[in-house]
Amino acid sequence: MKSGRKISGGKYKKPKKKKLTGRQKQARITKIGDTKTKTINGRGNTKKLISLLGNIVNLASSNKTKTTKISNVLETPSNTFLARQNILIKGAIIETELGKAKITNRPSQEGNIQARLIK
């Protein structure tokens, strides 16, 4: 048989080369604390503002939006261990000055925290 061929005559596919764009980036975790943000350079001359710490939330209730402080994270449906460490992610239920609220955005990618009041 010719070299580089299978017994059936098909070609072997070469493995793909590892590239810089395929690597994973460092995980960004948003915790409760004094507000701290960071800008990250993206592809195509874009900038992304991410939040590392945050204690102020834009709380939306019926037709009004107020800014309040976060006291702690009550529960996180996706992972129970994140609530113990007070990590803010989308879907987490937090305790604020006005009551319980659910985070509706991704704070680690947007630079602010948006939430909706739970009745």
**pLDDT of res. 97:** 94
- Identity of the residue numbered 112: N
Summarised one tens digit per residue, pLDDT across range 21-55 is 888 888 889 999 999 999 998 889 999 899 999 99
Phi, psi of 109 (to 5 degrees): -120, -5
pLDDT recorded at residue 99? 93
Mean pLDDT, residues 9-29: 87
Rounded-to-integer distance, Cα 30 and Cα 73, Å: 12
Task: Please give the Cα distance from 8 to 117 (Å, whole number).
Answer: 64
pTM of the entire structure?
Answer: 0.77
Residue 79: strand, helix, or coil: coil
Domains of the chain: 30-117 (3.10.290.70)
